[in-house]
Copies of this chain bind each other. A is one copy, B any other.
Amino acid sequence: MGFFKLREQDPAGDAKSLDETLDALGYNSDGLVPAIAQQYDSGEVVMMAWMNRAAIEETLETGRVCYWSRSRQAYWRKGESSGQIQKLIEMRFDCDGDALLLKVDQTGPACHTGRRSCFYHKVVIDSEPLINPEELYK
């Protein structure tokens, strides 16, 4: 049985070493796991990107979030060109160790388009019913 499966039964407060935990993460075939960045105080989800093990370690060591850019195939120290850095407040892993949740303090916009959050495409309903369907099919 895997590390995270075994951990399901451990009591709150129980700890394993960071090394052992990072070894057990469910990296994909490119060695990456998805990481969700959430503003720590407002709760706003500002972006999702990817990390490899070294990016996770650097983020914990420096307290500044470092991703792996799949398009550039390079480390991506958030804010290194824009100044819009992400300070790490808290790092969490999910139940089966294949996703990360980063509580961050985001300076300015997180999105490369200048928006606070990358999630600015919303599915909306754009018309109202002309008639109540219960009337229509009574």
Contact = CB atoms under 8 A, between A and B. Distances in A.
A83 interface: no
Contacts of A118: 94-96, 99
Contacts of A38: 43, 45
A7 to B, nearest CB: 7
Contact of A119 (B18, B42, B94, B111): B94
A55 interface: no
Contact of A120 (B91, B95, B113): B95
Contacts of A43: 38, 42-44
B94 A47 contact: yes
A121 B97 contact: yes
Nearest to A120: B95
A8 B15 CA distance: 44
B95 A45 contact: no
Nearest 7 A-B pairs (CB), nearest first?
A: A43-B43, A93-B121, A94-B118, A48-B99, A92-B119, A101-B119, A95-B118
Interface of A: 4, 7-8, 15, 18, 21, 34, 36, 38, 42-45, 47-48, 60, 90-97, 99, 101, 111-113, 115, 118-124, 126
Given A15-B124, A48-B99, A101-B119, 10 more contacts: A4-B121, A36-B36, A36-B48, A48-B94, A60-B123, A92-B121, A92-B123, A93-B119, A94-B120, A99-B118
